[in-house]
Structure 1
């Protein structure tokens, strides 16, 4: 479904990605793990054209989407939940969710998608008129995921969904990610909590200083001694 071929990206003169190649197949959860500054967020931003790749190609469902405008990438079926949630704090929960469907002019369809999000996250329905900035961290994460789902993506990119959340809330968020995947959405997950990410993923990529140094099934990576030592605290 998604394929990156030798993607290079820079922040000014600093090279952030050094020839990334990876694939995400339809229906699976793939994860990218790595330390802070490894290039995980940059990879997702480059897929979405928030950063323009210096070289390399990005394909989605067989079509070259390299450097296309971000709104076209959303139209094609890719949505991203950014690191730090980035909800609009002064807008209500409902307004935040409606913004996620800004490309959809079919009001009935938007209403239907809204009900699907409220079924997945009942707490958001009860807080629909509440200002998003007053939600807890876990609720804001649910809102950020719900907002991305309002675009009805084929591929959902998740950037550090566990960041800053209590362990119980993290478990709940990861249960929801698994449920979204079971309902047919392919997922590319970037996560520092390597153990949690690999426990729900089909396959994983290990990123170090802008390069993929290892890739395998999630199960094999969980058992890999190098991964255990570097990322699982064993």
Structure 2
């Protein structure tokens, strides 16, 4: 579904991503793990068109998308749920969802998509008229994911969905990611919580200072002494 070859991204003189090669197959959950500043979020922002790469190829479903506008990339079904939620705080829950479905011209289909989000996140149905900025952190994260689902993603890029959440909510969010994937959406997941990410992922890539340094089956990486020491607090 996604194939990246020789991707190089710069912030001015800073070489942020260095010759990245990776792929995501349809139906997978692939996670990117690494320390802060490793380039994980930069990679997602490049895939969604927010950052233009200097060199390299990004093929999505067989089409080159590098350098295209975020709108065009979104229309192809590559959807980015950004770090920090980025909800519209002064709009209601339902208005946020309606904005997420801006590509949908059929009002019945739009309504159906909103109801599907409510079935995935029942708490959002209870809060649908509430201003999004008054939601709890966990509810805001659910809204951010729900808004992304409104665009009917073929590949969903999730950036730090568990950040700042209580442990019980973290487990709930990871269960939802598995549910979304089981329903047919391929997922690329950026996570600081490597322990949980490796539990639900099929494969994983480890980034260090803008480079892929390790890749493999998630279960194998979870059992690796090197990974345990560097990212899992010495255990899993």
TM-score by length of 1: 0.99
SS at match of 2:86: coil
**Structure-1 separation of matches of 2:139 and 2:188:** 21
SS at match of 1:26: coil
**What are the equivalent positions in structure 2 for 1:123-202 lying under 5 Å apart?**
123-202=123-202
SS at match of 1:109: helix
SS at match of 1:163: coil
Kindly state the Cα deviation for residue 80 of structure 1 after the two structures are TM-superposed.
Answer: 1.0
Kindly state the Cα deviation for residue 103 of structure 1 after the two structures are TM-superposed.
Answer: 1.4
**Structure-1 separation of matches of 2:213 and 2:203:** 14
**What are the equivalent positions in structure 2 for 1:22-41 lying under 5 Å apart?**
22-41=22-41
Kindly state the Cα deviation for residue 104 of structure 1 after the two structures are TM-superposed.
Answer: 1.4
Kindly state the Cα deviation for residue 13 of structure 1 after the two structures are TM-superposed.
Answer: 1.4
Deviation digits for residues 97-139 of structure 1, max 9, x if unmatched? 0000111111111111011000000000010000000000000
- Superposed CA RMSD in Å reads 0.5
| Number of matched pairs | 234
Kindly indicate whether residue 235 of structure 2 is the aligned counterpart of residue 217 of structure 1: no
SS at match of 1:148: helix
TM-score by length of 2: 0.98
Unaligned stretches of 5+ residues in structure 2: none
Unaligned stretches of 5+ residues in structure 1: none
**Structure-1 separation of matches of 2:107 and 2:6:** 41
**Structure-1 separation of matches of 2:104 and 2:54:** 32
